[in-house]
Amino acid sequence: MARIEYAPAPESRAVVKLRRQYGLFIDGEFVEPASGEYYATINPADESPLALIAEGGEADVDRAVRAARRAFTKWSKLSGAERAKYIYRIARILQERAREFAVLESMNNGKPIKESRDVDIPLVAAHFFHYAGWADKLEYAGFGPNPRPVGVAGQVIPWNFPLLMLSWKIAPALACGNTVVLKPAQTTPLTALLFAEVCQQAELPAGVVNIVTGHNQTGAAVVAHKGVDKVAFTGSTAVGRQIAETVAGTRKRLTLELGGKGANIVFDDAAMDQAVEGIVNGIYFNQGHVCCAGSRLLVQESVAEEVVARLKRRMQTLRVGDPLDKNTDVGAINSAAQLARISELSDSGSTEGAERWSSDCALPDKGFWFAPTVFTNVSQAHRIAREEIFGPVLSVLTFRTPAEAIEKANNTQYGLAAGIWTEKGSLILKMASELRAGIVWANTYNKFDPASPFGGYKESGYGREGGRQGLAGYLEADHV
């Protein structure tokens, strides 16, 4: 199947009005960092600088936490209906400014505009709408009588879904009456800072949401601050362990959503065209920068050759290039460091004897790029089958029986997500009950809904975000 060539259809950058320099958002205003230091954030598609970002330090984090504590005394006493009005207002403004947010997300992150426009930003607004609806119903959420907010939430989010992860954290926290100090990823702070403008536009009371940018030490300061009552983190398992050690022995609540090595399991009776689309969406969506990516493809042995052949033909049609082009399927890798990680692990796959195949696509000269890649003849001992690559790289393993598929799927330190492709409903239910994964998709992959909880087992973290369950970490109630 040949790649269909389309005329370029770039989205206009003019919709985004970037500032030359961004301060920290504390107590309802943009302020200078105590150190006076700034760093440049870039466009990963061409390495061009976008803006200067404030480097927050311990003094800035302390200022933000103090602002959040002051705001908490009033925000927590508002009725749920009153808090809901602000959250609804934020959701509506996000919808009104959706194009602006989508373009900025693709510019700063590298993901295709059609993903930012059609997936990320609509889901962001949906999460705020969903939790606005919960704000006056907390006593019916099932967490005990007299539910109350925990206090100040310190939240640290990753670079793969910058605005979506912000919504997963901030929306339930505000609905429950908490205030927030959020630290966005160092490479993708721009949509969080644009969200700060939305908070101003919505007339959210000062100090309810504070955003402190910076590098790793800034996030560490948020987690360690004694004035923080709840920590929520999405990111790597290694950093999650460090956070758990920091929080251990304190009274802080902790939610961790960490790495994954999802198994996408295809049985011989699956609808093959549908399954191949699900495989592609499972691993090449957002350049594979997805914690729940279906990075391990388990195919029943009798159809393995057919599935791989169909998959390679489909991969040849994927268009890699300018994230702002509406025709682009696979955008830029987020950073040079992440590209080096993907390249190193992919090279190890070849060295260890797996068969490597990449789609035949021309990669741009500037920026960070990696062609969609699939490895066959992979064993469970290979690093590419064990370690999270977090890139557009798929490992293919085979199985003969459902029992073998379950054994191989569960043979990982992670337990975040899995997919099942079969026409048999009974097999879906059996597999789902035995897979150690926090979320299991059947005949689809990477589908999200704000009403559905998300989280993992083992080294994929603990706690849930989304849905009714996502309220639990932000509430305390009387014991019955």
Residues 434, 463 within the same domain: no
Question: Does 380 score more than 90 pLDDT?
Answer: yes
Residues 169, 292 within the same domain: no
Residues 245, 282 within the same domain: no
Inside any domain, residue 8: no
Mean pLDDT of the chain: 97
Q: Which H helix or E strand runs over 429?
A: helix 425-434
* pTM check: above 0.95: yes
Question: Does 480 score more than 70 pLDDT?
Answer: no
pLDDT for the residue 272: 97
Give the alpha-carbon dihedral of 15, 20, 26, 27, to 10 degrees.
-60
pLDDT for the residue 98: 98
Give the C-alpha separation, 126 to 130, whole Å: 6
Question: Does 3 score more than 70 pLDDT?
Answer: no
Give the C-alpha separation, 65 to 464, whole Å: 24
Give the C-alpha separation, 465 to 475, whole Å: 13
Instruction: Pick 1 or 123 by higher pLDDT.
Output: 123
Inside any domain, residue 84: yes
pLDDT in tens, 249-272: 999 999 999 999 999 999 999 999
pLDDT band for position 40 (50/70/90)? very high
Residues 395, 251 within the same domain: no
pLDDT band for position 2 (50/70/90)? low
Q: Which H helix or E strand runs over 402?
A: helix 402-410
Work out the percent of the chain whose per-residue pLDDT is above 70.
99
The pLDDT of 159-177, averaged and rounded, is 98
pLDDT in tens, 199-254: 999 999 999 999 999 999 999 999 999 999 999 999 999 999 999 999 999 999 99
Give the alpha-carbon dihedral of 394, 381, 265, 299, to 10 degrees.
80
Residues 227, 270 within the same domain: no
| Residue burial 309-333, b: 16+ Cβ < 10 Å; e: rest | ebbbebbeebbbbbbbbebbbbbbb
Residues 183, 329 within the same domain: no
Taking every pair of Cα atoms in the chain, the longest distance, rounded to a whole number of angstroms, is: 64
pLDDT band for position 197 (50/70/90)? very high
Instruction: Pick 479 or 214 by higher pLDDT.
Output: 214
Question: Does 404 score more than 70 pLDDT?
Answer: yes
CATH number (domain holding residue 438): 3.40.309.10
The residue among 277, 284, 306 whose CA lies nearest residue 373 is: 284
Inside any domain, residue 453: no
Inside any domain, residue 306: yes
Domain that holds residue 292: 263-447
Residues 68, 172 within the same domain: yes
Residues 22, 50 within the same domain: yes
pLDDT for the residue 270: 98
pLDDT for the residue 5: 77
pLDDT band for position 22 (50/70/90)? very high
Is residue 267 within 8 A of residue 422, CB to CB? The reply is yes
pLDDT for the residue 455: 97
pLDDT in tens, 328-339: 999 999 999 999
Give the C-alpha separation, 295 to 282, whole Å: 7
The pLDDT of 1-14, averaged and rounded, is 82
Give the C-alpha separation, 85 to 362, whole Å: 49
Residues 290, 406 within the same domain: yes
Inside any domain, residue 454: no
Residues 220, 276 within the same domain: no
Inside any domain, residue 3: no
The pLDDT of 381-398, averaged and rounded, is 98
Inside any domain, residue 387: yes
Strand 417-421 relative to strand 475-476: parallel, antiparallel, unpaired?
Answer: unpaired
Residues 312, 335 within the same domain: yes
Q: Which H helix or E strand runs over 360?
A: none
The pLDDT of 291-301, averaged and rounded, is 98
Burial group, residue 280, by CB count within 10 angstroms (0-12, 13-18, 19+): buried
How many structural domains are present in the chain?
A: 2
pLDDT in tens, 130-165: 999 999 999 999 999 999 999 999 999 999 999 999
Give the C-alpha separation, 287 to 160, whole Å: 9
Is residue 50 within 8 A of residue 194, CB to CB? The reply is no
Inside any domain, residue 73: yes
Residues 278, 146 within the same domain: no
The pLDDT of 66-73, averaged and rounded, is 98
Strand 29-31 relative to strand 209-211: parallel, antiparallel, unpaired?
Answer: unpaired
pLDDT for the residue 6: 83
pLDDT band for position 341 (50/70/90)? very high
Which residues on neighbouring strands pair with residue 52, listed in sequence order?
21, 40
pLDDT band for position 103 (50/70/90)? very high
CATH number (domain holding residue 18): 3.40.605.10
Active site residues: 257, 291
